[in-house]
Amino acid sequence: MSEVNNPSPVITIDGPSGSGKGTIARLLADKLNYALLDSGALYRLTALSALNREADLTDEATLTEIAANLDIRFELRDGEVVSLLEGQDVSHDIRLERVSMAASKVAAMPGVRAALLQRQRDFRQAPGLVADGRDMGTTVFPDAPVKIFLTASAEERARRRFEQLREKGVSVSLRDLLEDIRARDARDMNRATSPLAPAEDAVELDSTGVDIDGVLQIVLQLVRDRIRA
């Protein structure tokens, strides 16, 4: 059967910031030998490119142009995904707080989202794809056979981020992180285009109090039930 009639399966993992999407998506892709799409990285790269050009972050036409013409590549180096913007390794820079904030703003622009849509769909390949983001199951891969909406309480997500930053030697206040998470949730959930929301056919999974391996086992069972039955 042709690839058109029988496209490679996609497992979508959507959810709010800090719910563990990226962690679970990476582990799952490794386990299944699937390709991986970190769609948030595309919004972060758009934001970084805009910041580098000192573009006006409220100017949708300029940001759409930047998104449409992004010169980016992802490479696997020593088991880690490296993000290249115009040939430069920006894997560290795209995770900086000022880039996170800018990414959340550019991601609210319909023009930017439209400009990045096909680029995301192009990640689909055999034997399958794990795609993590906010609208993977609703907009980018509506035909995905497995859709997961991963959540955790805002307090738990702030604690996870706090630990993550502490391990990196970054000192932040838990209260500020919680406020930041709530602000990003509100922006992601309330934007007009592709707001953060579970697809109708998504399985909602609350990971509060469930460790990483526990979440992975639940997701693997879902995959076995729906794809590998």
Ligand X SMILES: Nc1ccn([C@H]2C[C@H](O)[C@@H](COP(=O)(O)O)O2)c(=O)n1
Q: Which partner from the list ligand X, ligand ATP, none does 138 bind, CB cut-off 5 to 8 Å by kind? A: none
Task: Return the number of the residue (22 or 111) whose C-beta is nearest ligand ATP.
Answer: 22
Minimal CA–CA distance to 226: which of 114, 147, 128?
147
- In this chain, which stretch among 21-29, 42-50, 119-127, 136-144 interacts with ligand ATP, using CB under 6 A? 21-29
Q: Is 22 in the site for ligand ATP (CB under 6 A)?
A: yes
- Minimum distance, C-beta of residue 100 to ligand ATP, in the bound complex (Å): 7
CA distance 41 to 82: 10
CA within 13 Å, CB half, 126: 5
Q: Is 17 in the site for ligand ATP (CB under 6 A)?
A: yes
The pair of three-digit structure tokens given for residue 44, joined into one six-digit string: 């972060």
- The H-assigned helical ranges of the chain are 21-32, 39-52, 60-68, 97-106, 110-121, 154-167, 174-190, 212-226
Q: Is 81 in the site for ligand ATP (CB under 6 A)?
A: no
Token pair 């406020």 is at which residue? 179
Radius of gyration of the CA atoms of the chain, in A = 17
Residue list for the binding site for ATP: 15-23
Q: Is 39 in the site for ligand X (CB under 6 A)?
A: yes
Q: Which partner from the list ligand ATP, ligand X, none does 50 bind, CB cut-off 5 to 8 Å by kind? A: none
Q: Which partner from the list ligand ATP, ligand X, none does 7 bind, CB cut-off 5 to 8 Å by kind? A: none
Sheet with 72-77: strands ordered across: 72-77, 80-85, 88-89
- Contact positions toward ligand X, by CB under 6 A? 17, 39-40, 43-44, 103-104, 107, 133-135, 184, 188
- Contact positions toward ligand ATP, by CB under 6 A? 15, 17-23, 40, 160, 164, 207, 210-212, 215
